[in-house]
Amino acid sequence: MAYEVNGSTVEHDEEGYITNLADWTKELADVIAETEEIDMNEEHWAVVNFLREYYDEYQIAPAVRVLIKAIKKEMGPEKGNNKYMYELFPYGPAKQACKIAGLPKPTGCV
C-alpha cells in the first residue's frame, strides 16, 4: 500500500500511517489529507505544524490537552478547544492529525 506523490510512491500501513517517518513532505501531507477527506487549510496546517515541531523536540506526540493549549495560545480561545479540534479533524486529532503530520501511529494504550 502506498501514497502517490508527484509520481513517486510512499509506503503506508493498513490504516494509512506512513511506514518510514523520513518520507514525510508537505505534498505528502496534502495527499494523506485527501484520503482522509480533509481539505487542508491554514488552520489544519497550524495543528500539523505544531505536532511536527513537538515531535521533533520531544520524540512523542503531545497529549491532546497540550495540543489544545498550544492552539489556544496561537489562535485564541474560540479555537483552543476540543470541539474546534474535532471540527478540523472529525475522526479525532490524535489519530487523523498525527497521520497527516507523519507521526507514529498511537499505540492506543488507554
Partner 1 sequence: MKIGVVVSEGPYTHQAADTAYHFVKAALDGGHEVPRVFFYHDGVNVSTRLSVPPQDERHIQNNWTNLAKEHDIDLVVCIAAAQRRGLLDENEANRQGKDANNIADGFRISGLGQLIEMGIQTDRLVTFGD
Partner 2 sequence: MSDVKKFLYVNRKAPYGTIYALESLEVVLIGAAFEQDVSLAFLDDGVFQLTKGQNTDGIGIKNFSPTFRALGDFEVTKLYVEKDSLEERGLSPDDLQEIMYEDEDDDWEEKPSIRLVSRAEMADVMADQDVVLSF
Q: Which residues are catalytic?
A: 109
Closest CA to 99 of 26, 38, 20, 29: 29
Which residues, 6+ apart, have CB-to-CB distance to 90 below 8 Å? Answer: 96
In a 13 Å sphere around the CA of 72, the CA atoms on its Cβ side amount to 11
Per CB under 8 A, does 86 bind partner 2? no
The interface with partner 2 within residues 23-62 (CB under 8 A) comprises: 54, 57-60, 62
Q: Residue 21 binds what, of partner 2, partner 1, none (CB under 5 to 8 Å, by partner type)?
A: none
Among 6, 7, 15, 57, binds partner 1 (CB under 8 A): 15
Please, which residue, 22 or 110, has the CB nearer to partner 1?
A: 110
The interface with partner 2 within residues 62-81 (CB under 8 A) comprises: 62-63, 66
Q: What are 84's three cell numbers? A: 474546534
Extended beta strands in the chain, E state? 2-5, 8-11
Per CB under 8 A, does 109 bind partner 1? yes
Per CB under 8 A, does 13 bind partner 1? yes
Place of cell 486529532: 93
